[in-house]
Structure 1
Amino acid sequence: MIILGIDPGLNKTGIGILENKGSKFDCIGYSVIKNKQGIKPVDKIKNLVNKVEAFILKYKPVYAAVEDSFYSVNVKTAIGLGVARGAIIATLLSKGVSVHQFTALQIKKAVVGYGKADKNQVKKMVEIQLGITLDGVLNDASDALACAICLGVFLNGRLHDKLY
């Protein structure tokens, strides 16, 4: 079963694609969708939707995990993140993908075992669990892979009680 993990953002969105093979995950791929600075927000949304749709059509995921935001210091950033998340979720649902949302705390708990792990710890555990190296890869991509791992663990029933 193919799982898509998404770390949303209006300027940068991480995408991670895993194949869930029971208790093991294979990394199919990862990417970061980047929007150019200075373009209109509506054009950023259009680009984001088109790229997410392309990933859906190419990999045909059954499930997707989208990182849920729980706070933002900057109101403008929070609104942009909310718009990006909404566009991504609507795109996934329109293509028949089952969508799950997890907070950063839940993702870190599932991947690292500690909800307050830093980004480097998350990246290292993603590398270990997937048997890959992510040197030079943006954190958006490793966070998306972590999100996908979290969903896989959840679907396999190994951490249901511990995530909540």
Structure 2
Amino acid sequence: MLGSQTKQVILGIDPGTATMGWGVVRQEGSRLRYVQHGAITTPSGWGMPRRLDRLFAGVTELIRGYRPSAVAVEELFFNTNVTTAITVGQARGVALLAAYRAGVEVFEYTPLQVKQAITSYGRADKRQVQEMVRALLGLRSIPRPDDAADGLAIAICHAFSHRMSAATGVGKPRAMQDN
């Protein structure tokens, strides 16, 4: 059986300062099981340091509660809106820091890699990705909010990438290095 020895809990994170989506899946061999999803939100009236502190505390709490063996985070997508890119980068940074401090290995995936893994088409639209997340995890409806569905998609992407590299011995999902 493909990847029959693999058992892991994966926390997927879709970074954002207003809403940080997350999803947890459990991989047992070739089976993927839904665990939970949600979002960490911060009020728009809060200053950036307070928002980042809330996000850090939230991710830390998720790691303590679900005890993932891997955290998969979406890489920053270059956006023409520089302000948005900077704030998403800050949110991404606190997620990476929380995982690092907890001693959990972190993996990064581009939006293109996530779409390719979930739908087999790197240019799939958001609705196609959400529908495939629903189908792959056997859920009755598309996870809400959208950011949480994205968090699940990132976790699934890691599970698929990890399973394929374990089964074939070729390639390895790119873990962030601690240099």
What interval of TM-score do these two structures reach, taking the shorter chain for normalisation? over 0.9
Root-mean-square deviation (Å): 1.7
Contact 1:72 1:78 in 2 (8 A): yes
Contact 2:130 2:143 in 1 (8 A): no
The structure 1 segments of at least 4 consecutive aligned residues displaced by more than 4 Å after TM superposition are: 158-161
Percent identity reads: 36
Deviation digits for residues 80-106 of structure 1 (CA, Å, limit 9, x no counterpart)? 011111111011011011100000000
Q: 1:79 aligns with which of 73, 78, 86?
A: 86
| Whole-angstrom distance in 2 between the partners of 1:31 and 1:152 | 19
Contact 1:123 1:134 in 2 (8 A): no
| Whole-angstrom distance in 2 between the partners of 1:133 and 1:98 | 31
Contact 1:68 1:103 in 2 (8 A): yes
Q: TM-score, normalization: structure 2?
A: 0.86
Query: Secondary structure of the residue that 1:111 maps to in structure 2?
Result: helix
> Partner amino acid for 1:11?
A
Query: Secondary structure of the residue that 1:157 maps to in structure 2?
Result: helix
Structure 1 residues without counterparts, runs of 5 or longer: none
Change (3 A) 1:136 1:109: closer
Tell me the residue number matched to 1:115: 122
How many residue pairs are counted as aligned between the two chains?
163
1:26 CA displacement = 0.6
Tell me the residue number matched to 2:54: 47
Q: TM-score, normalization: structure 1?
A: 0.94
* Structure 1 position 59 matched with structure 2 position 58: no
Tell me the residue number matched to 2:149: 142
> Partner amino acid for 2:152?
L
Query: Which one has the largest radius of gyration?
Result: 2
Tell me the residue number matched to 2:96: 89
Contact 1:7 1:141 in 2 (8 A): yes
Deviation digits for residues 127-157 of structure 1 (CA, Å, limit 9, x no counterpart)? 1100013347111011110000000011101
